[in-house]
Structure 1
Amino acid sequence: MSSDPDHTDVRLASESDTYQPTGEAPSLPPPLPARKIVKTVPYSGSIRTATDVMKRGDRIDDFEVEAVLGRGAFGVVYLARQLSLDRQVALKVAANAGSEGRTMARLEHTNIVQVFSETIDQSGELRLLCMQLVPGAPLDAVINDLAQIRTARGHWSGADVLASVDTRSKLTDIFDPSALRDREALADMDDLEAACWIGARLSEAVDYAHRQGVLHRDIKPANVLVNRYGQPMLADFNISFQSLDENSSADERFGGTLAYMAPEHLEAFNPSTDVTAAAVDERSDIYSLGIVLGELLYGRSPLASPPRCDNRLVYLERLAACRAVAPPEVIEGAGNAVKAFSYTIARCLDPDPEKRYATGAELAEALDGVRELRKHERSSRGNGWLVRAVKKHPMRWVVIFSLFPQFLGSLFNIGYNATQICTHFTEEQHDAFHRLVIAYNVIVYPLAIAAGVAILLPLHRIWQQLVSKEPVEQSKLDWARRRSLKLPMWLLAVAAMGWLPGGFIFPWLIERMTGSSPPGLYWHFFLSFTISGLIAVAYSLCGVQYAVLRGLYPRLWPRAEKFRETANEELPNTWWRLVLMVGLAATIPTFASWTIQYLAPDRNDDFLFLLTSALDMVGYAGLALTAWASVKLSRLMDNIMGIDQRRIT
């Protein structure tokens, strides 16, 4: 991980450099007991500048120093006790310049370190910033711990984040029941979910600051504190730009850390360019946050950097040249959520500010969508060969599930025609029937195939783009998802139009071609084609519905903005199809068996007995299969919509 200590101002209460990952989130310790209030005294010590270090017991203004939390180019941060209120605070002692206190004082947000007060010491040279004490660890230290875990076992978890924070923090925190929910939720997340959750909370903090007219302009892991509840807190607004405050001086309005600067920030930082600080806006903070999130998940920066050189200006120009080129998406791991996260980071890091997320709220929404998508993927992993096959090649299985039931219907149709209809034909009628079979198949099969191709081809093209990692417009993805949900009914309609007309066309043309027809010809053909078609339609509906919901629809989310909300808009209309699926698959074969037995002229016919027995077995098997599939698909839809998060096998 890249960092620049010269720009690291605020550090956290953390002195331990040794970390032993346990994979568990330890329980929170009890809060510190209250202490007696001590009378406030003026400064007693030996520091003269902001970078001088006070020792334990030294007092300055209303504060008594207890320990050093961190130090940097701008000053020193202490663990101190505010004597008048008898509370522990983080006391930042810096040179009396800038307006960090006024900047941060206007920011009251759960994920921003709160400023309580700002005072000037008696000498007038030092500015004292009394801030919220955040027991925990700086994010850069947590990232280092997580990188070790990732190297050892290939992944980390939210519990590892909490374990790192608890191990590194020597301070206890006041028990906060409302924040405990976040700790429990984080402990149950995997690495991608945890990175998205932390990133979304930071994005909300950045968005809040931006709406208050404050730019941070030095977002990096060292300036993010993670408390004992796993909540990230943005700190160190020392070089923030107050875009709405015209009284800010130029030197306090601009700065940053090279490794986390956006391209326009680097150019503005370079005195040899004409780019000014005005080019650095909200989207520059989004860029920096994207780098931080990439480091958090992958343990390294998602951006390449040129080799270091002694000439700072030359290095600055080389770094700006590297940042001017869009970085490749980093995709490590399987699943659509991984791709969605990679897309989100890549959009944050686009060299063109116009193509980045415009606000922190947009980025937070995208990250929360990725997290929800990942949560769905984790709970819907199946181990069966069919689940794996459908999820890997959903379009292929849509075709298979569409065609295979047609062969089952054909077997019934051929058997019934041969035993119940053709045995009563004259030779002339036999000849007419065979000619009609050839003509009907020559016409209907190409038409049905053409209709199926017309329905599937546009969707298949978008699917191929996703598989080949080509960029796909969001509007096309939205269209593809909605179309995929309609596939079962559209393919059902194609199959029905191929089968059902035959029940009328065959007897009518045979009668016209031969001038006569055996008794019951119309009824038998109607029964033959209708039952065959309904069997084919029922089971193709079941199979295609399974392939769409288990494999295709969840894969059409390479971007996850508003994942749950959109799914709740698109999926509810699918419920009645599951009911129809079970009803058709269970009742049609049984109904066909009863009808044939009732209408058959020779009920003792052996083939008729085998046929009706087979239909009964198909009906029972269909009921069991579709009922099982319906329950699975119902739970799957609930899972996608966020209604039921139980694991789906």
Structure 2
Amino acid sequence: MKDEAVNGGPPPASGLSPCDPAEIDVILERCLERFAEVAPLRDLSQLRRYLPEADPQTVKFVLIELIKLDMAMVSETGTVPPIEFYLEALPEFLPSGEVPVDLVMEEVQLRRESGETPTQDEYKNRFPQFDSVIVQLVGVAEATAAVKNRAAPPELEIGSQIDDFLIVQTLGSGAFAHVYLARQLSMARLVALKVSRGTGDEPRALSQFDHPNIVRVFDQRELDQPSVHLLYMQFHPGGTLAEVVRAVRGVEANQRDGTLLLETVDEQLLKLAQIVPERSSVRKWLSEAPWPIVVAWLGIQLARALDDAHGRDVMHRDVKPANVLLSNEGIPKLADFNVSYAGAAGRAGAAASFGGSIGYMSPEHLRAISARLMDEPEEVREKADLYSLAILLWELWQGQRPFVADASPSSWSEAVWQQLNSRGDPPSEPQRIGTAPERVLESTLRKALAFDPEDRLLSGAEMAGRLTLALHPDAAKLFDPGKETWRYKILQWSPWMVPMTVVLVPNLFVMLFNFVYNYYALLGKHGDRDKPDDYIPGLREFFESFAFWVSAVCLGVGIYFMVKLTKAFVAAIRNAESGEPAGERSIRSIMNLGQNGALIGGTLWAIAGLVYPFTLLTRFPDLEMGEAVRFFFSLVICGGVAAIYPYFGMTILGTLIYYPRLIKNSMQDTAFSDRFSLVVRQSERFMWAAVAVPLVGVALLTYSDNEEKNVVFSAVVASGAGMFLAYYAYRFVNRIWLDMARVLSKEHASLIPGLGSDD
């Protein structure tokens, strides 16, 4: 062991206010980095020089992690110093009764790795406060803490050469690895060179990927003189999202936009003497983008990267801002370094080998760390990575994490429990600017932050799909309407009321028109006893009775079929409200309701159009054929109106309100393009039908008698207005579906710079 030569900080002050728990990771990393340069120590009392100037709880927390690191480095010599050595050297900081369970676990594991066999009786005597859990602590056979190859790598001088690499600049230094900007001489290219004593799993994990948002690993080499491992990878000079988070905290919510990201990137480029791109479509788009859209844009790319990794059965388990590198255009690159470019020190301690930073961990990840201490392993899978990504994106959006512990922890195990307890609370109330993209972002993150994994997003692809909506404000208003909008208010109405009203009310109006028109057309001419030449006995009584029964039967049949159709419609809406992803059957029940309602109405009116004239001619032979023909065409007009208005009414409501509600849960519809084409074709046919109806009315007006002309003229005017409404409805529906296509269809998707061709 060696003495330290350090200009360490002043001793901690007990009167300082507690640190923000969200900042403890940063404090710990700095202290570990400084201590790693001189550890292990001969004089353990000198550990106090590496403690922060902070409140006692934070000081105790950092001290325990420094002890773990010192113990780990001493263990490389084959012996493990007992915890009591540190207690004797630093009695004022860590009394014997306050030793945390994770520090005991660290000693147990290090002794196992050194070939010793710790016994339960020994630890019961040394730490009686843990009597109830000693069996689990000593009996755990699986490694939980040992950080492999803990020896610190040699520091390389700027301008020196190691193997094929000329060292240009230091990018990050940590306890167990250093990252340099280096020039690979044989390839004449700049690379990020990670120098460490051991390989770990990172090279194997990263070498599998060829994804635009995952750091590309070129290769690795093992050297004997000096004995180090070299991992060289793609160089990204824009810093990390950790710097962006720090910048966000200094800017008011309504002042944030894409320039914040670009300014942070440019600051890092300047530090590394790199050139700022002059012509970049990505940077131009970012410079004009609101902040919620920028956060969603970053989230889409990182969610896709995780989805690609998960598809190869690779979990990240340490998604945090310092592990997301940025290109000179601001494009995020997911990394998994033990030492990030930002200078993170890596993690010593009981949770080290399991990975992750607890401030970004999912509940099941935190439970798994605690359970491993008790030998009760819990599986941590893909949704944990998405949970961590959601915390990262929330922090980018708000400048603070959604879950904050109430107090500074005094040990790693206590910190884990604090974080786990905080996950049971709802996310902290965000500062909002009130835009549709922001609502989409918030709802997506809240879904991903559900405590129960079963209630979260299914995959990175789903998360990316939902966030894509935030990039298109017009579409975002459809899928996530504000509570003050009429769309949102209609969604609160009974799903039974809307389709029944939209389909049946036009039919009732045209039934009234049909009765009034034919009352004047027939009874005005043949039902008046004062006109003996034209009077047909019994016509009035028969017509009134027959019209009533035909209307009653048709209305009853129509209501029967509409109830059946609406039942499926209601079930689809309620399933969507319960969070279920929409299936093809549910979507069809929504989008086909207008067409089916039109088909029901049109069919019944067509039947009535044949039944009325045929029955009247059969019952009253004195009626002229021309009168029967006029009667038929009046019903054709009624049938056209009864089909066209319900179709466009339900298609518009389905397009604007109900289809977006169904798709919102997954933001995926594999048949979207076919559905889009079908809606356009159907709407075009109904538009032409709307053009034909007033033409039929004009023809009917030409052959109408004076008694009925006013009624027919009113019908022509109404159907003419309907023709123009149908034209604008057709255009409107087409435009709305095109807006949705930018999110849901590859064929119609608008290109957002930086997202490639997969949107």
Q: TM-score range by the shorter chain?
A: 0.7 to 0.9
- Match among 404, 408, 412 for residue 312 of structure 1: 412
* Residue 623, structure 1, aligned to residue 719, structure 2: no
Corresponding residue to 2:236 among 116, 120, 134: 134
Stretch of structure 1 that moved more, 542-551 or 224-233: 542-551
Question: Helix, strand or coil for the counterpart of 2:354?
Answer: coil
Greater gyration radius: 2
Pairwise CA distance, 1:274: 0.9
Deviation of 1:292 after TM superposition, in Å, equals 2.2
- C-alpha deviation, 1:115, in angstroms: 4.3
- Number of the residue aligned with 1:296: 396
Q: What is the alpha-carbon distance in structure 2 between the residues aligned to residue 437 and residue 279 of structure 1?
A: 71
* CA deviation map 1:251-296 (0-9, x unaligned): 98433211122344334433532134x8345554344333323333
Alignment of 1:448-487 (within 5 A): 448-463=558-573, 466=576, 470-475=577-582, 478-487=584-593
Q: Which of 664, 669, 673 is the matching residue for 1:568? A: 673
Distance in 2 (CA, whole Å) between partners of 1:226 and 1:306 is 32
Alignment of 1:461-610 (within 5 A): 461-463=571-573, 466=576, 470-475=577-582, 478-506=584-612, 518-520=623-625, 522-563=628-669, 565-598=670-703, 600=704, 602=705, 605=706, 607-610=707-710
User: For 1:320 and 1:507, how far apart are their aligned partners in 2?
Assistant: 77
Q: Kindly indicate whether residue 506 of structure 2 is the aligned counterpart of residue 413 of structure 1.
A: no
Q: Quick check: 1:216–1:285 contact (8 Å CA) kept in 2?
A: yes
CA RMSD after TM alignment: 4.5
Q: Structure 1: which amino acid aligns with 2:465?
A: G
Counterpart residue identity of residue 391, structure 2: I
Deviations 1:24-52 (A, max 9, x none): xxxxxxxxxxxxxxxxxxxxxxxxx8489
In structure 2, relative to structure 1, the CA distance for the partners of 1:628 and 1:128 (3 Å cut) is: same
Deviation (angstroms), 1:583: 1.2
Please give the secondary structure, in 1, of the residue aligned with 2:538: helix
CA separation in 2, counterparts of 1:193 and 1:510? Answer: 67
1:461-485 per-position Cα deviation (integer Å, ceiling 9, x unaligned): 543565xxx423225x543321121
Letter of the structure 1 residue corresponding to residue 564 of structure 2: A
In 2: Cα distance, 1:151 partner to 1:64 partner: 43
Alignment check: 8 A CA contact 1:326 1:349 kept: no
Q: Distance in 2 between matches of 1:580 and 1:165?
A: 53
Change (3 A) 1:199 1:515: closer
- Following superposition, the deviation at residue 231 of structure 1 comes to 1.6
Query: What SS does structure 2 have at the residue aligned with 1:136?
Result: coil
User: Aligned pair 1:432/2:538, yes or no?
Assistant: no
The DSSP-based 3-state class of the residue aligned with 1:556 is helix
Report how far residue 227 of structure 1 moved. 1.4
- Quote the Cα distance in structure 2 between the aligned partners of 1:334 and 1:72: 42
Residue in 1 that maps onto 2:93: none
Cα pair distance change 1:208/1:621, threshold 3 Å: closer
Q: Name whichever of 219-228 and 501-510 sits farther off.
A: 501-510
Instruction: Tell me, yes or no, if the aligned pair for 1:409 and 1:532 is still in contact at 8 Å.
Output: yes
Aligned partner of 2:176 among 35, 54, 74: 74
CA deviation digits over 1:115-159, x for unaligned, max 9?
456567887466555443311131122234345556235xx5555
State how far apart, in whole Å, the 2-side matches of 1:329 and 1:578 are.
Answer: 46
Change (3 A) 1:290 1:371: closer
Q: CA deviation at 1:221?
A: 0.9
In structure 1, list runs of 5 or more residues that go unmatched.
Answer: 11-48, 241-249
SS in structure 1 opposite 2:592?
helix
Output aligned runs, 1:261-276, within 5 Å. Answer: 261-270=361-370, 272-276=373-377
Give secondary structure in 1 for the equivalent of 2:733.
helix
Cα pair distance change 1:577/1:204, threshold 3 Å = closer
Q: Give the length in aligned residue pairs.
A: 577
> Is 1:634 aligned to residue 740 of structure 2?
no
- Change in CA separation of 1:407 and 1:589 when aligned onto 2, cut-off 3 Å: farther
**Structure 2 unmatched runs, 5+:** 1-20, 34-150, 341-349, 479-483, 528-535, 751-759
Aligned partner (choices 293, 302, 311) of residue 202 of structure 1: 302
1:422 aligns with 2:523: yes
Cα distance change on mapping 1:417 and 1:207 into 2, 3 Å? closer
Select 1:227's aligned residue among 327, 338, 342.
Answer: 327
1:174-193 superposed Cα distances (whole Å, 9 cap, x missing partner) = 7999x955555656655555
CA gap 1:175/1:417 in 2 versus in 1, 3 angstroms: same
What SS class does the counterpart of residue 368 from structure 1 fall into?
A: helix
Deviation at 1:492, TM superposition (A): 1.0
Equivalent residue for 1:393? 490
Query: Is residue 378 of structure 1 aligned with residue 474 of structure 2?
Result: yes
CA distance in 2, matches of 1:544, 1:437: 28
Aligned residues of 1:405 and 1:535 also touching (Cα < 8 A):
yes
The answer to whether the 8 A contact 1:336-1:555 is kept is no
- Secondary structure of the residue aligned to 1:70 is strand
Letter matched to residue 635 of structure 1:
R
